[in-house]
């Protein structure tokens, strides 16, 4: 019987992804290898030749997956293998030799070539349909090959009534079975699948343990880099400050221009941060086309965004939606933890710009930014309302969750993901403890004070806080709009 071995010349575990046409083989591979360049298509026969997809971690190949075409003539292939009289170990090679010039077996020869070369097998089926005789023939071919093998049930539809049938068939033919949805599998499920591969051949256990460790270390490093990207973005958005010449005052026109500039500044920095996070998680094609109901599709400074993420009416009002006169009418600024700084003294002057509470005009940007008139200069920024920090953090965390949960094999980019709806507090930060919010306040004060923050103790606090949040998101232990 043919036995798979890892020779010293290639210690890297190799797995061929095999199955019937159009079952989702390439899509499973794409998710497992985190490679969205894999060709996936609704038309059967998309994969015509074998293609290797090495997974590189820290510049080193740790595992290799091989995409293969679907079986072309499984029943005849099986019949030939069953009649074979030669040496067991040469069974698959003999089949390939006998059929390599026959177009009727082109795909069968191609997909069995990596098996003959010692690859393990991941057999993929669409578990949302019943088992057919053709599938039994394919499973029997793989059993006869003697290759270490795992069956993966990739349910393309929600249908699960055939699962028991598949599982009982698999028990006869495979060393291990897993449910793995190529469109929805998370990082944890990828790790679990790799862990399970260890069980199919003892010889591969040490190498696969190394693969799992490399994956985990890689994700930890990405998590830390994401935190730095988010903190950098926050500081760029909050510490923004600009001085412009003015003739001793601030016309509405000038205020509006400065506010527009600031919005562009933040939007561009947010997009750059998102892009950097996407790249870290190896998403090249996925470009977050968000459905209209997604809060990330809303303008960052829209009232809807701020309400959705859990700000109370009072906090929204205090953030600048009302004229300065309203403050004088006795709103308790301190309760919301907001320091308006120079704004409260200039309230009368600035009030005019932001009294409209509806639509785009709801937020008076200049109040949010703070403004000082000194001689011939008008200075705007830095931001004087900590609520903006929470809004930016919430959007970053929602985006992060979207990216890490988007499986590389998933291709319905237009559909987007449903973000939590129906809860008035759908963000993350609204549920942070007093202690955590205090860290945010200290960070906010430091950044807005124009001081360097990267080495400050509070930067360490923020890093730990965000790293913990990102880990919980990855592990599926934290949803938006959820108490801990
Ligand atoms: N909804 C959904 N669709 C899936 C899933 N997996 C695969 N598909 C779709 O099924 C179709 C076939 O997927 P592929 O990964 O190209 O299948 P394949 O087995 O590689 O097909 P061939 O290369 O043609 O043999 C594509 O349109 C995929 O988007 C899934 O888990 N859910
Ligand atoms: Mg394919």
Give the total number of structural domains in the chain. Answer: 2
209 in a domain, yes or no?
A: no
480 in a domain, yes or no?
A: no
Q: Is 323's pLDDT higher than 50?
A: no
In this prediction, residue 466 carries a pLDDT of 98
Ligand 1 centre from 207 Cα, in Å? 29
Among 127-131, 212-216, 355-359, the least confident range: 355-359
Task: Find out whether the beta carbon of 408 lies less than 6 Å from any atom of ligand 1.
Answer: no
93 in a domain, yes or no?
A: yes
Compute the average pLDDT of residues 372-396. Answer: 80
Task: Find out whether the beta carbon of 278 lies less than 6 Å from any atom of ligand 1.
Answer: no
The residue among 200, 230, 255 that closes a domain is: 200
In this prediction, residue 248 carries a pLDDT of 61
Among 26-35, 149-158, 355-364, the least confident range: 355-364
Task: Find out whether the beta carbon of 72 lies less than 6 Å from any atom of ligand 1.
Answer: no
88 in a domain, yes or no?
A: yes
- Whether residues 229 and 268 share a domain: the answer is yes
Residue reference for tokens 């698959």: 92
- Whether residues 238 and 193 share a domain: the answer is no
Q: Is 291's pLDDT higher than 60?
A: no
Which ligand is the nearest neighbour of the Cα of 409?
1
- Whether residues 342 and 440 share a domain: the answer is yes
Q: What is the chain's mean pLDDT, rounded?
A: 81
- Whether residues 429 and 393 share a domain: the answer is yes
Task: Find out whether the beta carbon of 20 lies less than 6 Å from any atom of ligand 1.
Answer: no
- Whether residues 388 and 351 share a domain: the answer is yes
Instruction: Ligand 1 pocket test: pick from 27, 31, 108 the residue with the most ligand atoms within 8 Å of its Cβ.
Output: 27
The residue among 170, 200, 230 that closes a domain is: 200
Task: Find out whether the beta carbon of 223 lies less than 6 Å from any atom of ligand 1.
Answer: no
Among 111-115, 142-146, 185-189, 323-327, the least confident range: 323-327
68 in a domain, yes or no?
A: yes
- Whether residues 195 and 344 share a domain: the answer is no
- Whether residues 402 and 355 share a domain: the answer is yes
CATH at 185: 3.40.50.300
Which ligand is the nearest neighbour of the Cα of 107?
1
Sheet architecture: strand order including 14-19: 51-57, 60-67, 14-19, 120-125, 149-153, 176-179
In this prediction, residue 429 carries a pLDDT of 87
Task: Find out whether the beta carbon of 183 lies less than 6 Å from any atom of ligand 1.
Answer: yes
Task: Find out whether the beta carbon of 44 lies less than 6 Å from any atom of ligand 1.
Answer: yes
Q: pLDDT tens-digit profile of 142-157?
A: 999 999 999 999 988 8
Task: Find out whether the beta carbon of 31 lies less than 6 Å from any atom of ligand 1.
Answer: no
- Whether residues 329 and 292 share a domain: the answer is yes
d(CA 47, CA 276): 31
Ligand 2 centre from 272 Cα, in Å? 33
Instruction: Ligand 1 pocket test: pick from 17, 18, 21, 22 the residue with the most ligand atoms within 8 Å of its Cβ.
Output: 22
Ligand 1 centre from 114 Cα, in Å? 21
d(CA 462, CA 477): 20
Q: By percentage, how much of the chain surpasses pLDDT 90?
A: 56
> Checking DSSP bridges between strand 149-153 and strand 120-125, what pairing results, if any?
parallel
- 172: its two tokens: 């006869």
In this prediction, residue 483 carries a pLDDT of 53
Check residues 273 and 322 and name the one with the higher pLDDT: 273
294 in a domain, yes or no?
A: yes
Domain enclosing residue 56, as ranges: 14-200
246 in a domain, yes or no?
A: yes
Compute the average pLDDT of residues 355-375. Answer: 55
**CA-proximal residue: ligand 1, atom 4 (nearest):** 156
Task: Find out whether the beta carbon of 107 lies less than 6 Å from any atom of ligand 1.
Answer: no
- Whether residues 180 and 269 share a domain: the answer is no
Q: Is 48's pLDDT higher than 60?
A: yes
Compute the average pLDDT of residues 184-188. Answer: 91
215 in a domain, yes or no?
A: no
- Whether residues 240 and 389 share a domain: the answer is yes
- Whether residues 281 and 193 share a domain: the answer is no
Neighbours of 23 (CB within 10 A): 26
In this prediction, residue 49 carries a pLDDT of 97
Q: pLDDT tens-digit profile of 125-140?
A: 999 999 999 999 999 9
Compute the average pLDDT of residues 241-260. Answer: 77
Global pTM reads 0.83
Q: What is the 3-state secondary structure (H, E, C) of the chain?
A: CCCCCCCCCCCCCEEEEEECCCCCHHHHHHHHHCCCCCCCCCCCCCCCCCEEEEEEECCEEEEEEEECCCCCCHHHHHHHHHHCCCCHHHHHHHHHHHHCCCHHHHHHHHHHHHHHCCCEEEEEECCCCCCCHHHHHHHHHHHHHCCCEEEEECCCCCCCCCHHHHHHHHHHHCCEEEECCCCCCCHHHHHHHHHHHHHHCHHHHHHHHHHHHHHHHHHHHHHHHHHHHHHHHHHHHHCCCEEEECCCCCCHHHHHHHHHHHHHHHHHHHHHHHHHHHHHCCCCCCCCCCCCCCHHHCCCCCHHHHHHECCCHHHHHHHHHCCHHHHHCCCCCHHHCCCCCHHHHHHHHHHHHHCCCCHHHHCCHHHHHCEEEECCEEEECCCCCCHHHHHHHHHHHHHHHHHHCCCCCCCCCCCCCCCCCCCCECCCHHHCCHHHHHHHHHHHHHHHCCCCCCCCHHHHHHHHHHHHHHHHHHCCCCCCCCCC
- Whether residues 176 and 255 share a domain: the answer is no
Q: Is 191's pLDDT higher than 90?
A: yes
Which ligand is the nearest neighbour of the Cα of 46?
1
Instruction: Ligand 1 pocket test: pick from 17, 21, 32, 40 the residue with the most ligand atoms within 8 Å of its Cβ.
Output: 40
d(CA 306, CA 427): 10
**CA-proximal residue: ligand 1, atom 3 (nearest):** 156
């Amino acid at each position: 019987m043919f036995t798979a071995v890892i020779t010293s010349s290639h210690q890297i575990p190799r797995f061929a992804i095999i199955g019937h046409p159009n079952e989702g083989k390439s899509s499973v591979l794409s998710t497992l290898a985190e490679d969205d360049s894999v060709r996936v298509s609704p038309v059967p026969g998309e994969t015509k030749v074998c293609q290797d997809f090495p997974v590189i971690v820290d510049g080193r190949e740790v595992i290799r997956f091989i995409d293969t075409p679907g079986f072309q003539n499984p029943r005849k292939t099986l019949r030939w293998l069953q009649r074979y009289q030669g040496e067991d170990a040469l069974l698959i090679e003999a089949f390939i030799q006998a059929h390599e010039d026959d177009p009727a077996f082109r795909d069968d020869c191609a997909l069995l070539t990596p098996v003959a070369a010692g690859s393990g097998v991941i057999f993929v089926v669409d578990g949302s349909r019943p088992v057919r005789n053709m599938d039994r023939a394919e499973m029997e071919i793989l059993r006869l090959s003697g290759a270490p093998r795992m069956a993966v049930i990739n349910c393309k539809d929600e249908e699960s009534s055939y699962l028991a049938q598949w599982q009982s068939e698999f028990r006869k033919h495979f060393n291990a079975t897993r449910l793995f949805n190529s469109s929805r599998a998370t990082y944890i499920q990828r790790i679990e699948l790799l862990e399970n591969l260890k069980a199919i051949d003892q010889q591969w256990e040490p190498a696969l343990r190394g693969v799992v460790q490399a994956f985990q270390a890689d994700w930890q490093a990405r998590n830390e880099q994401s935190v730095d990207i988010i903190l950098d973005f926050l500081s760029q958005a909050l510490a923004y400050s600009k001085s412009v010449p003015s003739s001793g005052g601030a016309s509405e026109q000038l205020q509006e221009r400065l506010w527009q500039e600031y919005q562009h500044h933040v939007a561009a920095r947010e997009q750059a941060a998102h892009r950097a996070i996407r790249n870290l998680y190896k998403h090249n094609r996925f470009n977050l086309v968000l459905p209209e109901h997604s809060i990330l599709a809303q303008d960052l400074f829209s009232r809807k965004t701020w309400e959705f993420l859990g700000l109370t009416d009072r906090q929204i009002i205090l953030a600048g939606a009302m004229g300065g006169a309203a403050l004088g009418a006795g709103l308790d600024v301190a309760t919301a933890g907001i320091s308006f700084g120079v704004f409260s003294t200039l309230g009368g002057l600035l009030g005019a710009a932001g009294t409209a509470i509806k639509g785009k005009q709801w937020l008076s940007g200049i109040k949010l930014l703070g403004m000082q008139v000194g001689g011939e200069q008008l200075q705007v920024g830095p931001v004087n309302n900590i609520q903006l920090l929470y809004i930016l953090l919430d959007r970053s965390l929602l985006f992060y969750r979207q990216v890490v949960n988007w499986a590389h094999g998933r291709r319905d980019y237009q559909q987007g993901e449903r973000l939590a709806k129906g809860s008035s507090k759908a963000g993350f930060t609204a549920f942070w403890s007093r202690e955590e919010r205090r860290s945010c306040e200290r960070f906010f004060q430091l950044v807005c004070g124009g001081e360097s923050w990267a080495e400050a103790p509070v930067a360490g606090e923020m890093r730990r806080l965000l790293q913990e949040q990102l880990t919980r998101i990855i592990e599926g232990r934290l949803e938006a709009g959820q108490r801990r």
